[in-house]
């Protein structure tokens, strides 16, 4: 038996399908619009925040600075006073409150350099890192421990005691050498050098005075 009602219904099948399409497409137009969030999804941000991959140690950073790694871009997120007092060589000052400014975007949002954020500890730089990471910027790193750890490890390294492993001594040697690169003078070495210089320069040679002739300024002549 042919179901007559079904047959009659199915004779309109194309019209029904067409109207379903129009209703669905019209529904898209009528949907209430909402602002889409920019940048990465919350899940990715969370997993990025948890992962310790973003940290770079002071030793590694010192090694890269000394080897004149051209891909480094150091960014100081402390305020201007602190930046003027002391900062790492060739650092750029972008205070935390200015991280999202238009002017600072070219520094942070690029894929040419390894951006290294640092502050006194890694607290503010972590905040800056979260802000930038949220916007989807790449190659961002945070100096572990910030300037404080930089001082206690690179600038003023602790001498290892005798019962420490040989690695600690190697590390100490590296840090001491690095601190000399960054301009720390060790009084013992300075004294020794002074002694050597005295021994070599025993005979005092009277200084020859070479008179420099001062060029007379010629009056400006008229040119053609």
Binding region for other proteins (CB under 8 A): 14, 18, 21-22, 24-26, 28-29, 31, 41
Q: Which of residues 21 and 185 has its CB atom nearest to other proteins in the complex?
A: 21
* Long-range CB contact pairs, 29-38, < 8 A, 24+: 38/135, 38/136
Residue 79: CB partners within 8 Å, gap ≥ 6? 95
**Closer to other proteins by Cβ: residue 1 or 24:** 24
The nearest distance, CB 134 to other proteins, in angstroms, is 16
Hey, which bits of the chain come out as E strands?
55-56, 72-76, 92-93, 114-118, 140-143
Q: Cα(85)–Cα(151) distance, rounded to whole angstroms?
A: 14
Least distance in angstroms from the C-beta of 10 to other proteins: 17
In the complex, minimum distance from the CB of residue 37 to other proteins, in angstroms, rounded to a whole number: 11
Q: Nearest distance from residue 11's CB to other proteins, in Å?
A: 14
In the complex with other proteins, which residue's Cβ is closer, 31 or 210? 31
Q: Which is nearer to other proteins, 22 or 185 (CB)?
A: 22
Q: What residues form DSSP beta bridges with 93? A: 76
Cβ distance to other proteins smaller for residue 24 or 195: 24
Rounded to a whole number of angstroms, the minimum distance from the CB of residue 49 to other proteins is 19
């Amino acid at each position: 038996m042919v179901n007559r009602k079904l047959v009659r219904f199915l004779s309109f099948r194309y019209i029904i399908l067409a109207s379903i399409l129009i209703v669905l497409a019209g529904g898209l137009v009528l949907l209430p619009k909402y602002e889409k969030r920019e940048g990465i999804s919350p899940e990715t941000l969370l997993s990025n925040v948890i992962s310790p991959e973003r940290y770079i140690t002071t030793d590694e950073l010192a090694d890269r600075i000394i080897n004149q790694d051209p891909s480094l871009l150091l960014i100081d997120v402390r305020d201007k006073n602190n930046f003027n007092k002391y900062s790492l060589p060739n650092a750029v000052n972008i205070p935390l409150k200015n991280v999202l400014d238009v002017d600072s975007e070219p520094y942070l949002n690029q894929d040419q350099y390894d951006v290294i954020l640092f502050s006194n500890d890694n607290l503010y730089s972590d905040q800056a890192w979260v802000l930038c990471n949220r916007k989807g910027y790449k190659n961002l790193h945070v100096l572990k421990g910030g300037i404080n750890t930089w001082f206690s490890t690179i600038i003023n390294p602790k001498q290892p005691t005798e019962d420490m492993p040989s690695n600690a001594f190697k590390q100490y040697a590296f840090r001491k050498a690095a601190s000399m690169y960054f301009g720390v003078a060790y009084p013992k070495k300075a004294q020794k050098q002074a002694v050597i210089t005295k021994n070599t320069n025993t005979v005092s040679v009277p200084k020859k005075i070479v008179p420099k002739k001062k060029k007379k300024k010629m009056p400006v002549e008229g040119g053609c």
